Structure 1
Amino acid sequence: MTNTPTADEEYWDARYGKDDQVWSGNPNVALVRETADLAPGRALELGCGEGADAVWLAEQGWQVTAADVSGTVLDRAARRAAEAGVADRVDWQRHDLGSTMPEGLFDLVSAQFLYSVGDVPREQILRRAAAAVAPGGVLLVVGHAGFPDWEHDHDPDTHFPTPHEVLASLELPDGQWEVLHTDEHERVQTGPDGQPSTRTDNTLKIRRLP
């Protein structure tokens, strides 16, 4: 990475710097569900935020590389891992994923709600994520299917890709991948007013054939 902060880095450092905790602190429900049948190995988490998913994976026995653009939040996540007793199982790395990606191959590559501000090349990042999956390994992509009920001033032209659209955008070579799961699912999320609201997300889970 260059030493000049990107717009993405500045945005997320500012956002995480305003509060001691932004997210719930719990691992994403889809990650917990979709990794239940996987033997722990090497995992890569893209856009790790405050580290709840990475710490949870480490607690399940995974050796985790966790990447985020914000140095502020990586420091926070590292403290969380130390408090959980898994500091030695997580390698925290700062990356602007539109430019750089952690090196190596992984048995699990997870991209949970990988969105940001500005012109972030999400499809390109996810294609690099697929390339980082080891033979026999899994790519798990979880995203929103729409805006939450409480957000009324959003851009009406914003498109949230379906799992099948995400799969097509990966441009995977024929005969080298197996589709394990494509679905939409509902979950309850607490809104800014503290009230619970139902939100629809989607999941793509694919495996690189050995």
Structure 2
Amino acid sequence: MMNIILHPTYFPNIKHFVAMANAEEVCFEMDDNFIKQTYRNRANIYGANGKLTLNIPVVYSQKNRQKYRDVKIFNDENWQSNHWKSLESAYRTSPFFEFYEDELQPLFTEKADFILDFNLKCFEVVCVCLQLDLNLTQSTTFEKEITDKTDFRPLVNAKKETAPNFDSYTQVFSNKHGFIPNLSILDLLFNEGPNALNYLESQQLNVL
């Protein structure tokens, strides 16, 4: 088992969780700059029409470099309510939506100010749902080259994705659009329930 470093993201995708479930120690990168069009503020779920991206709007300008931890959420949009409605319509008929609903719903009603703080809160709730107990640390400075851990930080890039060779599981709309791999952990949780952790621990992720 290895020590890894990766970015906290919005309801991390299955690749992120496979890496974490199979690691001895997980370090979250806390000192990087915010970059747009990454999983820092987006998650993919399986909607009735196929893959659906949930984006958290942020107050951010490319001109001034900003640390991820300093980026604020743009709360003038009613994004939390919209995301919850999307999750409900996507997963209401899944086997375990109701099982986890009470744990997750408060995340979409309590106002959140900073994207990183919110992502960490979502992550904590998901770990409780998964019954996943991780040995977690946080970085204190940004290091471009990592020598003492396996660097899974590139997983944050939503654009440069290669499809993982993961086992398929039953998804709500798979009879319409087939199996869609590497969606948000919520897809696995709502479809597989208490078996989700076994699934994560049994998958292999190639070192980047």
TM-score, length-normalised on structure 2?
0.29
